[in-house]
Amino acid sequence: MKKKIVFFAATVLITVIICFSFSRLVANKESIKQYKDFFDHSNGYDVWFLGSSVVKHGILPVQLYKEYRISSYNRACQSAFLPVTYWIFVNALDYGRPKIVVIDGYSISKQYDWCSQEINKAFDAFNLSINKIRANYDLCICHEDKVLQRVPWGEAELLFPYERYHNRWNEITQEDFRLTSNSEFGAVPLNGIVKEYNDYGEFDKNAYLDLGTNDGVKYLNKLVDLCERMGFEVVVTYCQTEPSPEAYIERNYLKDYAENRSISFIDCLESGIIDDIMYYYDGSHLNTEGAYILTDYIGERLKYLIDIPDARKDDNYSFWDDSIGTFE
Protein backbone atom coordinates (compact mmCIF):
# COMPACT_ATOMS: atom_id res chain seq x y z
CA MET A 1 0.00 0.00 0.00
CA LYS A 2 2.83 2.37 0.90
CA LYS A 3 4.53 1.74 -2.45
CA LYS A 4 1.28 2.56 -4.28
CA ILE A 5 0.94 5.86 -2.41
CA VAL A 6 4.54 6.79 -3.20
CA PHE A 7 4.06 5.81 -6.85
CA PHE A 8 0.84 7.85 -7.09
CA ALA A 9 2.46 10.89 -5.48
CA ALA A 10 5.48 10.64 -7.77
CA THR A 11 3.21 10.33 -10.83
CA VAL A 12 1.24 13.43 -9.83
CA LEU A 13 4.45 15.38 -9.19
CA ILE A 14 5.97 14.39 -12.53
CA THR A 15 2.72 15.28 -14.33
CA VAL A 16 2.66 18.73 -12.70
CA ILE A 17 6.30 19.33 -13.64
CA ILE A 18 5.69 18.28 -17.26
CA CYS A 19 2.56 20.45 -17.54
CA PHE A 20 4.37 23.44 -16.07
CA SER A 21 7.39 22.92 -18.37
CA PHE A 22 5.25 22.70 -21.51
CA SER A 23 3.23 25.74 -20.41
CA ARG A 24 6.44 27.68 -19.84
CA LEU A 25 7.80 26.73 -23.26
CA VAL A 26 4.77 27.75 -25.32
CA ALA A 27 3.84 30.78 -23.18
CA ASN A 28 4.03 34.25 -24.65
CA LYS A 29 7.39 35.51 -23.34
CA GLU A 30 6.28 39.16 -22.98
CA SER A 31 5.76 38.85 -19.23
CA ILE A 32 8.99 36.92 -18.64
CA LYS A 33 11.11 39.41 -20.63
CA GLN A 34 9.61 42.41 -18.85
CA TYR A 35 10.41 41.00 -15.42
CA LYS A 36 13.66 39.15 -16.07
CA ASP A 37 15.75 41.94 -14.52
CA PHE A 38 13.53 41.83 -11.44
CA PHE A 39 14.26 38.15 -10.85
CA ASP A 40 17.97 38.60 -11.64
CA HIS A 41 18.39 41.40 -9.06
CA SER A 42 15.26 41.07 -6.91
CA ASN A 43 16.80 42.79 -3.88
CA GLY A 44 18.36 45.57 -5.95
CA TYR A 45 15.31 47.83 -6.14
CA ASP A 46 14.46 50.27 -3.37
CA VAL A 47 11.22 51.44 -4.98
CA TRP A 48 8.51 49.26 -6.52
CA PHE A 49 5.89 50.89 -8.74
CA LEU A 50 2.49 49.19 -8.77
CA GLY A 51 -0.47 49.99 -11.00
CA SER A 52 -1.99 49.57 -14.43
CA SER A 53 -0.96 50.53 -17.96
CA VAL A 54 -0.86 54.23 -17.04
CA VAL A 55 2.15 53.40 -14.84
CA LYS A 56 3.52 50.64 -17.10
CA HIS A 57 3.89 53.09 -20.01
CA GLY A 58 4.45 56.25 -17.98
CA ILE A 59 7.22 55.66 -15.42
CA LEU A 60 10.74 54.86 -16.60
CA PRO A 61 13.03 53.34 -13.92
CA VAL A 62 16.24 53.84 -15.91
CA GLN A 63 15.53 57.58 -16.14
CA LEU A 64 14.88 57.66 -12.38
CA TYR A 65 18.27 56.10 -11.73
CA LYS A 66 20.05 58.31 -14.24
CA GLU A 67 18.60 61.60 -12.97
CA TYR A 68 17.78 60.89 -9.32
CA ARG A 69 19.86 57.78 -8.51
CA ILE A 70 16.68 56.00 -7.44
CA SER A 71 16.81 52.22 -7.88
CA SER A 72 13.30 51.13 -8.84
CA TYR A 73 11.27 48.57 -10.76
CA ASN A 74 8.03 49.03 -12.67
CA ARG A 75 5.82 46.14 -11.52
CA ALA A 76 2.69 47.58 -13.11
CA CYS A 77 0.64 45.55 -15.59
CA GLN A 78 -1.77 46.43 -18.37
CA SER A 79 -5.42 46.43 -17.22
CA ALA A 80 -4.37 45.58 -13.67
CA PHE A 81 -7.23 46.54 -11.40
CA LEU A 82 -6.26 46.89 -7.74
CA PRO A 83 -7.10 43.24 -6.87
CA VAL A 84 -4.59 42.14 -9.54
CA THR A 85 -2.07 44.72 -8.33
CA TYR A 86 -2.35 43.36 -4.79
CA TRP A 87 -1.59 39.80 -5.86
CA ILE A 88 1.27 40.89 -8.14
CA PHE A 89 2.79 42.53 -5.08
CA VAL A 90 2.25 39.49 -2.84
CA ASN A 91 3.87 37.18 -5.39
CA ALA A 92 6.78 39.58 -5.98
CA LEU A 93 7.51 39.51 -2.23
CA ASP A 94 8.52 35.86 -2.67
CA TYR A 95 11.58 37.17 -4.53
CA GLY A 96 12.62 40.42 -2.87
CA ARG A 97 11.82 43.32 -0.55
CA PRO A 98 11.44 47.00 -1.41
CA LYS A 99 11.97 49.96 0.88
CA ILE A 100 9.24 52.07 -0.72
CA VAL A 101 6.04 50.96 -2.47
CA VAL A 102 4.34 53.39 -4.85
CA ILE A 103 0.72 52.40 -5.47
CA ASP A 104 -1.20 54.06 -8.28
CA GLY A 105 -4.95 54.37 -7.73
CA TYR A 106 -6.10 54.61 -11.34
CA SER A 107 -9.28 52.53 -11.86
CA ILE A 108 -10.07 52.43 -8.13
CA SER A 109 -13.71 53.18 -8.98
CA LYS A 110 -14.05 50.25 -11.39
CA GLN A 111 -15.49 46.81 -10.63
CA TYR A 112 -13.01 44.00 -11.07
CA ASP A 113 -13.75 41.17 -13.50
CA TRP A 114 -11.62 38.28 -14.69
CA CYS A 115 -9.63 38.97 -17.87
CA SER A 116 -7.44 35.95 -18.52
CA GLN A 117 -5.27 37.52 -21.24
CA GLU A 118 -4.18 40.43 -19.08
CA ILE A 119 -3.88 38.35 -15.91
CA ASN A 120 -1.63 35.90 -17.73
CA LYS A 121 0.64 38.84 -18.60
CA ALA A 122 0.85 39.66 -14.91
CA PHE A 123 1.53 36.16 -13.59
CA ASP A 124 3.21 34.10 -16.34
CA ALA A 125 6.65 35.19 -15.14
CA PHE A 126 6.09 33.88 -11.60
CA ASN A 127 7.00 30.31 -10.78
CA LEU A 128 4.33 28.02 -9.39
CA SER A 129 3.97 28.76 -5.67
CA ILE A 130 1.48 28.89 -2.82
CA ASN A 131 0.96 32.62 -3.37
CA LYS A 132 0.35 32.10 -7.09
CA ILE A 133 -2.29 29.50 -6.25
CA ARG A 134 -3.87 31.88 -3.72
CA ALA A 135 -3.90 34.66 -6.30
CA ASN A 136 -5.51 32.46 -8.93
CA TYR A 137 -8.29 31.37 -6.58
CA ASP A 138 -9.02 34.93 -5.47
CA LEU A 139 -8.97 36.47 -8.97
CA CYS A 140 -10.93 33.85 -10.90
CA ILE A 141 -14.27 35.62 -10.50
CA CYS A 142 -16.59 37.58 -12.76
CA HIS A 143 -19.91 39.36 -12.56
CA GLU A 144 -22.46 37.65 -14.81
CA ASP A 145 -25.75 39.58 -14.86
CA LYS A 146 -24.53 41.37 -11.70
CA VAL A 147 -24.06 38.03 -9.93
CA LEU A 148 -20.59 37.13 -8.66
CA GLN A 149 -19.47 33.80 -10.12
CA ARG A 150 -16.30 31.74 -10.37
CA VAL A 151 -14.67 31.44 -13.79
CA PRO A 152 -14.78 27.82 -15.04
CA TRP A 153 -11.25 26.42 -15.45
CA GLY A 154 -9.81 29.84 -14.64
CA GLU A 155 -7.44 28.56 -11.98
CA ALA A 156 -6.07 25.77 -14.17
CA GLU A 157 -5.49 28.11 -17.11
CA LEU A 158 -3.56 30.55 -14.98
CA LEU A 159 -1.43 27.98 -13.16
CA PHE A 160 -0.79 25.90 -16.28
CA PRO A 161 -1.56 28.21 -19.24
CA TYR A 162 -0.89 25.52 -21.85
CA GLU A 163 -4.53 25.72 -22.97
CA ARG A 164 -4.16 29.43 -23.70
CA TYR A 165 -0.87 29.14 -25.55
CA HIS A 166 -0.91 25.63 -27.07
CA ASN A 167 -1.42 27.03 -30.58
CA ARG A 168 2.01 28.68 -30.35
CA TRP A 169 3.84 25.44 -31.14
CA ASN A 170 4.32 26.55 -34.74
CA GLU A 171 5.52 29.99 -33.60
CA ILE A 172 8.30 28.85 -31.30
CA THR A 173 11.71 30.23 -32.25
CA GLN A 174 15.17 30.38 -30.70
CA GLU A 175 14.00 33.43 -28.74
CA ASP A 176 11.74 31.15 -26.70
CA PHE A 177 14.84 29.40 -25.38
CA ARG A 178 17.10 32.47 -25.14
CA LEU A 179 15.25 34.92 -22.95
CA THR A 180 16.58 38.45 -22.60
CA SER A 181 15.18 41.41 -20.68
CA ASN A 182 13.64 44.46 -22.32
CA SER A 183 16.28 46.60 -20.51
CA GLU A 184 13.56 48.95 -19.24
CA PHE A 185 13.12 47.37 -15.78
CA GLY A 186 9.44 46.60 -16.35
CA ALA A 187 8.46 49.76 -18.21
CA VAL A 188 7.08 49.70 -21.76
CA PRO A 189 7.54 53.10 -23.47
CA LEU A 190 5.14 53.92 -26.30
CA ASN A 191 6.18 55.72 -29.48
CA GLY A 192 3.62 57.75 -31.41
CA ILE A 193 1.30 60.73 -31.03
CA VAL A 194 -2.47 60.58 -30.67
CA LYS A 195 -4.37 62.28 -33.50
CA GLU A 196 -7.35 63.45 -31.49
CA TYR A 197 -7.62 64.48 -27.87
CA ASN A 198 -10.76 63.69 -25.87
CA ASP A 199 -12.82 66.80 -25.20
CA TYR A 200 -15.01 66.39 -22.11
CA GLY A 201 -16.27 69.96 -22.07
CA GLU A 202 -17.01 71.66 -18.77
CA PHE A 203 -17.38 69.49 -15.67
CA ASP A 204 -17.05 69.74 -11.90
CA LYS A 205 -13.44 69.03 -10.92
CA ASN A 206 -14.45 68.86 -7.26
CA ALA A 207 -16.94 66.03 -7.81
CA TYR A 208 -16.69 63.37 -5.12
CA LEU A 209 -18.06 59.85 -5.01
CA ASP A 210 -17.94 57.72 -1.88
CA LEU A 211 -16.66 54.39 -3.21
CA GLY A 212 -17.56 52.57 -0.01
CA THR A 213 -15.90 49.16 0.10
CA ASN A 214 -15.81 48.34 -3.60
CA ASP A 215 -13.07 46.07 -4.97
CA GLY A 216 -10.66 48.93 -5.56
CA VAL A 217 -10.92 50.35 -2.06
CA LYS A 218 -10.86 46.90 -0.45
CA TYR A 219 -7.62 45.89 -2.15
CA LEU A 220 -5.98 49.30 -1.76
CA ASN A 221 -6.55 48.88 1.98
CA LYS A 222 -5.05 45.40 1.82
CA LEU A 223 -2.00 46.72 0.00
CA VAL A 224 -1.42 49.59 2.41
CA ASP A 225 -2.03 47.37 5.46
CA LEU A 226 0.45 44.76 4.20
CA CYS A 227 3.10 47.40 3.49
CA GLU A 228 2.69 48.91 6.94
CA ARG A 229 2.92 45.51 8.64
CA MET A 230 6.15 44.77 6.77
CA GLY A 231 7.64 48.20 7.43
CA PHE A 232 7.61 49.51 3.85
CA GLU A 233 7.11 53.22 3.16
CA VAL A 234 3.92 53.77 1.15
CA VAL A 235 3.19 56.45 -1.44
CA VAL A 236 -0.14 56.67 -3.29
CA THR A 237 -0.15 58.27 -6.73
CA TYR A 238 -2.64 59.18 -9.39
CA CYS A 239 -0.64 59.03 -12.62
CA GLN A 240 -3.51 59.54 -15.02
CA THR A 241 -2.99 62.97 -16.59
CA GLU A 242 -5.96 63.07 -18.97
CA PRO A 243 -8.44 65.51 -17.34
CA SER A 244 -11.69 63.52 -17.51
CA PRO A 245 -14.67 63.60 -15.10
CA GLU A 246 -13.94 60.02 -13.98
CA ALA A 247 -10.28 60.85 -13.39
CA TYR A 248 -11.15 63.72 -11.08
CA ILE A 249 -13.59 61.59 -9.11
CA GLU A 250 -10.86 59.00 -8.55
CA ARG A 251 -8.21 61.62 -7.84
CA ASN A 252 -10.40 63.40 -5.28
CA TYR A 253 -11.15 60.15 -3.50
CA LEU A 254 -7.47 59.14 -3.38
CA LYS A 255 -6.42 62.54 -2.05
CA ASP A 256 -8.81 62.16 0.89
CA TYR A 257 -7.84 58.53 1.33
CA ALA A 258 -4.16 59.40 1.62
CA GLU A 259 -4.88 62.15 4.13
CA ASN A 260 -7.02 59.81 6.25
CA ARG A 261 -4.32 57.11 6.21
CA SER A 262 -1.52 59.65 6.82
CA ILE A 263 0.44 58.56 3.76
CA SER A 264 2.04 60.62 0.98
CA PHE A 265 0.05 61.38 -2.17
CA ILE A 266 1.51 62.42 -5.52
CA ASP A 267 -1.12 64.11 -7.67
CA CYS A 268 -0.13 64.03 -11.34
CA LEU A 269 -3.57 65.01 -12.63
CA GLU A 270 -3.58 68.45 -11.01
CA SER A 271 0.14 69.03 -11.44
CA GLY A 272 -0.27 70.53 -14.91
CA ILE A 273 2.92 68.82 -16.11
CA ILE A 274 1.29 67.41 -19.26
CA ASP A 275 -0.36 70.22 -21.21
CA ASP A 276 -0.12 69.26 -24.86
CA ILE A 277 -1.55 66.51 -27.07
CA MET A 278 1.94 65.83 -28.44
CA TYR A 279 2.79 63.95 -25.20
CA TYR A 280 0.01 61.37 -25.57
CA TYR A 281 0.16 58.04 -27.37
CA ASP A 282 -3.62 57.67 -27.12
CA GLY A 283 -6.42 59.15 -25.04
CA SER A 284 -5.17 57.69 -21.76
CA HIS A 285 -1.50 56.80 -22.16
CA LEU A 286 1.57 58.96 -22.51
CA ASN A 287 4.09 58.42 -25.28
CA THR A 288 7.83 58.26 -24.58
CA GLU A 289 8.21 62.05 -24.46
CA GLY A 290 5.28 62.32 -22.04
CA ALA A 291 6.71 59.50 -19.92
CA TYR A 292 9.99 61.46 -19.58
CA ILE A 293 8.04 64.38 -18.13
CA LEU A 294 5.92 62.23 -15.80
CA THR A 295 8.97 60.26 -14.59
CA ASP A 296 10.87 63.45 -13.88
CA TYR A 297 7.95 64.75 -11.81
CA ILE A 298 7.62 61.48 -9.89
CA GLY A 299 11.36 61.42 -9.16
CA GLU A 300 11.34 65.01 -7.94
CA ARG A 301 8.35 64.41 -5.65
CA LEU A 302 9.76 61.16 -4.25
CA LYS A 303 13.05 62.84 -3.40
CA TYR A 304 11.15 65.65 -1.70
CA LEU A 305 8.81 63.38 0.28
CA ILE A 306 11.15 60.53 1.28
CA ASP A 307 14.81 60.12 2.12
CA ILE A 308 15.78 57.65 -0.61
CA PRO A 309 19.35 56.33 -0.52
CA ASP A 310 21.68 57.16 -3.41
CA ALA A 311 22.08 53.88 -5.28
CA ARG A 312 25.52 54.95 -6.59
CA LYS A 313 27.01 54.44 -3.13
CA ASP A 314 26.16 50.74 -2.95
CA ASP A 315 27.95 48.09 -5.02
CA ASN A 316 24.75 46.00 -5.05
CA TYR A 317 23.34 48.47 -7.58
CA SER A 318 26.30 48.40 -9.99
CA PHE A 319 24.19 46.56 -12.60
CA TRP A 320 22.39 49.85 -13.22
CA ASP A 321 25.42 51.44 -14.85
CA ASP A 322 25.26 48.94 -17.72
CA SER A 323 21.58 49.71 -18.24
CA ILE A 324 22.13 53.44 -18.60
CA GLY A 325 24.25 52.82 -21.67
CA THR A 326 21.40 50.79 -23.19
CA PHE A 327 18.88 53.52 -22.33
CA GLU A 328 20.94 56.25 -23.98
Q: Quick check: is 125 in a domain?
A: no
Q: Quick check: is 39 in a domain?
A: yes
Instruction: Give the CATH number, domain containing residue 197.
Output: 3.40.50.1110
Q: Quick check: is 236 in a domain?
A: yes
Q: Quick check: is 279 in a domain?
A: yes
Q: Quick check: is 216 in a domain?
A: yes
What does DSSP assign to residue 111? P
Q: Quick check: is 38 in a domain?
A: yes
pLDDT tens digit at each of 328 positions of the chain: 666 676 666 676 666 555 555 555 555 566 777 788 888 888 889 999 999 999 999 999 999 999 999 999 999 988 888 999 999 999 999 999 999 999 999 999 987 766 656 677 788 888 889 998 888 888 877 655 554 555 554 555 666 654 555 455 455 555 555 556 567 999 999 999 887 777 788 889 998 888 888 889 999 999 999 999 999 999 999 998 888 899 999 999 999 999 999 999 999 999 989 988 899 998 889 999 999 999 999 999 999 988 887 877 777 788 887 766 554 5
Q: How far apart are CA 109 and CA 217, in angstroms?
A: 8
State the helix-helix crossing angle for 245-261 and 215-230, rounded to 10 degrees: 30
What would the DSSP string read from start to end of 222-278?
Answer: HHHHHHHHHT-EEEEEE---S--HHHHHHHHHHHHHHHHHT-EEEESTTT----SGG
Per-residue model confidence (pLDDT) at position 37: 86
What's the domain range around 193?
33-114+131-138+172-327
Q: Quick check: is 163 in a domain?
A: no
Q: How far apart are CA 316 and CA 73, in angstroms?
A: 15
Structural domain total, the chain: 1
Per-residue model confidence (pLDDT) at position 169: 47
Q: What is the pTM of this model?
A: 0.85
Residues recorded for the chain: 328
Q: Quick check: is 321 in a domain?
A: yes
